[in-house]
Structure 1
Amino acid sequence: MDDVRFAFVKCHGSGNDFPLIDARAIDLAEADWAAVARALADRRGPVGGDGLLLLGQGTDDHDFSMAMYNADGSQAETCLNGLRCVARMGFEALGLDMARVRLKTSDAIVERDADLAAGVYTVRETAGPAGLDVRVWPLHAGVERIVETPVPPLVSERRFIAVAMPNPHLVTFVEAVDEAELVAIGEACEAAPRWLPNRANVSFVEVRGRDLFVRTFERGVGLTDSCGSAMAASSFAACLTGRLAYDTPITVFNKGGLVRASVTRDAMVSLSGNATWEWRGSIDVDIAAERAGDLVVEAHADAEIAAWAGIADLASR
């Protein structure tokens, strides 16, 4: 296949950054999109990111769809930080302020929300219900649920809550995040052992009063400043275990920023957070070689970048 030129937006949700392509009129196979993701998300290349987002066509029941490819080319069931960015592009393309979005294995409701701060484009997303049956991951541990117990095949005494959002998450509550320990556990899961063939995201979570701080080793990415579905899974886990209350606002902090969360008793999780444009451009991708080049940056969103910086400064205090 010859080089393909893509127009895209470089965007982020709570510091989780991506190139985002309107793919509604682009006919590529999943294997080709995986190659594009590896080329564009490569931090050593001209763009870089935690993965690749695609705005796709809708269906009879959905206004549009989203696909998310991790930096290693694997496709995720969802990405809630990325979903907000895709929602924004879909809203702008179709003139909507609310939509039902088809994800890989589920769907979600998105709507324009009041800005977190002046100039911070904000989307509210509702996903779920969160799932507790680990047999569907599959996680082969001889049990149906893992709630506040060690994961039998994992060499760790940490007590985890295993949650599907719908992508798989192992959440543990800690007094203080030990990144070296988090990376060690994350890498053990990333190796796709026989007991966890589809891998999992791993989060260490601090409870800070009525708020949370979440640090995540993301499947297909590694240690990341932010993971939206991990923040959703962590919020659900905190309510499930009685650390925080259902139907009560929660601020979830991460190294990339913050989101507002709420969890219902029927396991639905809502996140309200930013969908920030950083810059627009176009680039050639040699799909066979998985190489990107000839980047043209067409416009920077300086005002949006500055507006988000105020939120990020608040989150770091």
Structure 2
Amino acid sequence: MRFDFVKCHGSGNDFPLIDARALDLDDSVWAGVARALADRRGPVGGDGLLLLTDGDKLHDFGMRMFNSDGSEAETCLNGLRCVARAGFEALAVDRAEVRLKTSSAHAERDADLATGVVTIRETAGPAELDVTHWPLRGAGHQIVQQSIGNLPSARLFTAVAMPNPHLVSFVDAIDEAELVAVGTVCEAAPDWLPNRANVSFVELRGMDLFVRTFERGVGLTDSCGSAMAASVFAACLTGRVEFGVELSVFNRGGLVRAQAESDGMVRLSGNATYDWSGSADVDVDRGIAGDVTVDRHFNNEIAAWAAVVDGIA
């Protein structure tokens, strides 16, 4: 099978994005496409696969996100901005209600973060604190600044679903080896956490945050939008940041502007950058991509985002 796609990223969280509105394929096929196109060892690579899907009576269009291992995530807020951009361009609109796997989100064009950086503001939530819905078993209904006995760490965690599950710990300095160790336990889908969870270590830098995430179905990643949203809400919930105040959230891929409200809604404003567009053959059964054709490089967008990242360093 051959697919057209755009290689894009939100805050360094990169994906092939397919306009799937006219494609009727089984989930097992999309899982194979994700494993092929998002394979870092292959010719495209990415943190997952994004799909722009049809809307319905309540939504202008939809989004699906498959991780690089073929599993489907409830959402991906960095990816949502990219899908929203594609949907805006397809429908000639600048705001939309977007259907996600288990929830909805609002997206709209925002003032550019920097010259030449296409910027989308997204509103997602409400944040969910009841971990029995994940499920996370044996820790009660809520985890706020608590240790979790099944993890190989004595750190305190706060559990937030956005709507995908996140364990957030605030640290003085990020220990990546420890983060990977904790993330690996969650990734193994133990009996007490059968649907796995994302794990983030977060540094408070003045009034801003720096987030490092071990992402479910991906591993250690330069950026995870829902992790940034969960981290902002957790920071407000634990009194580190005030609700209703906009701050910058940094990661290895760049940054977003974020604001959490006491009702659980979180707004993120960040880039939706196109790197290149093209097509590839996909062997769905083997999860292999090949014969990639590049039709266009978005050099101006690449340079504009590089200037933002260089300004952070």
TM-score by length of 2: 0.99
Distance 2:158 2:268 in 1: 20
1:179 to 166, 176, 179: 176
The 8 Å contact of residues 202 and 218 in structure 1, kept in 2 or not, is answered as: yes
The 8 Å contact of residues 152 and 181 in structure 2, kept in 1 or not, is answered as: no
Aligned twin of 2:251: 254
Give 5+ residue unaligned stretches, structure 2.
none
Aligned twin of 1:217: 214
1:69 and 2:70 correspond: no
Aligned twin of 1:312: 309
The 8 Å contact of residues 81 and 229 in structure 1, kept in 2 or not, is answered as: yes
2:51 to 20, 43, 54: 54
1:226 CA drift (Å): 0.2
Kindly provide the CA deviation profile for residues 16-38 of structure 1, in whole angstroms up to 9, marking residues without a partner as x: 00000000001110010000000
Written as runs of structure 1 = structure 2, the 5 A alignment for 1:213-252 is 213-252=210-249
* Aligned structure 1 segments of 4 or more residues deviating by more than 3 angstroms: none
1:122 and 2:119 correspond: yes
1:34 to 24, 31, 35: 31
Distance 1:187 1:73 in 2: 17
Written as runs of structure 1 = structure 2, the 5 A alignment for 1:1-317 is 4-315=1-312, 317=313
Identity, in percent, stands at 70
1:153 CA drift (Å): 2.2
1:314 CA drift (Å): 2.3
1:310 CA drift (Å): 1.2
Distance 1:155 1:213 in 2: 22
Distance 2:296 2:164 in 1: 34
The 8 Å contact of residues 137 and 192 in structure 2, kept in 1 or not, is answered as: yes
Letter in 2 for 1:229: S
Letter in 2 for 1:242: G
1:303 CA drift (Å): 0.3
Distance 2:130 2:150 in 1: 17
1:289 CA drift (Å): 2.1
Kindly provide the CA deviation profile for residues 200-236 of structure 1, in whole angstroms up to 9, marking residues without a partner as x: 0000000001100000000000000000000000000
| Aligned residue pair count | 313
Q: Compare 251-260 and 145-154 and name the one that shifted more.
A: 145-154
TM-score by length of 1: 0.98
The 8 Å contact of residues 139 and 148 in structure 2, kept in 1 or not, is answered as: no
